[in-house]
Amino acid sequence: QVQLAESGGGSVEPGGSMSLSCAASGYTDSPRFMGWFRQTPGKEREGVAVIHIRTGQTRIADSVKGRFTISQGNGKNMVYLQMNSLKPEDSGMYYCASAGREWSGSWPPPADEYPYWGQGTQVTISS
């Protein structure tokens, strides 16, 4: 059974930095893509960053480009999201997700094309 577990959320002031981690386990076949999505109340889940596990190629949402970086661990069962220059509008629940062939490659990534999800970790940017 695939399990994704996020960690690293919390509260930070605007302009600060925060790093999120996602530990993946239970795959019989390695996922092709792992990504980070975020959601605020009343809004749809938004794709923030995705990484191709084999090639390391990444895609980043325009709203966070230049501030957020997605990376993976050497064992490829860990994915990270480094968030710098944080803004209040970056606040939300951040979810780690993974997909294989399910993701069409469209951008922004549709959440329903990612079959595996973590429980989420809250990120609050506030002074």
Position 11 pLDDT exceeds 70: yes
pLDDT digits (tens, 9 = 90+) for 61-82: 999 999 999 999 876 689 999 9
Burial class (CB in 10 A: 0-12, 13-18, 19+), 50: buried
pLDDT digits (tens, 9 = 90+) for 94-104: 999 999 889 98
pLDDT digits (tens, 9 = 90+) for 30-44: 788 999 999 998 999
Residues of the chain with pLDDT > 70: what percent? 98
Q: How many CA atoms lie within 13 A of 58 on its CB side?
A: 17
Query: What is the pLDDT at residue 76?
Result: 65
DSSP 112: G
Summary mean pLDDT of the chain: 94
Query: Can you tell me the distance from the alpha carbon of 4 to that of 33, in angstroms, rounded to the nearest whole number?
Result: 13
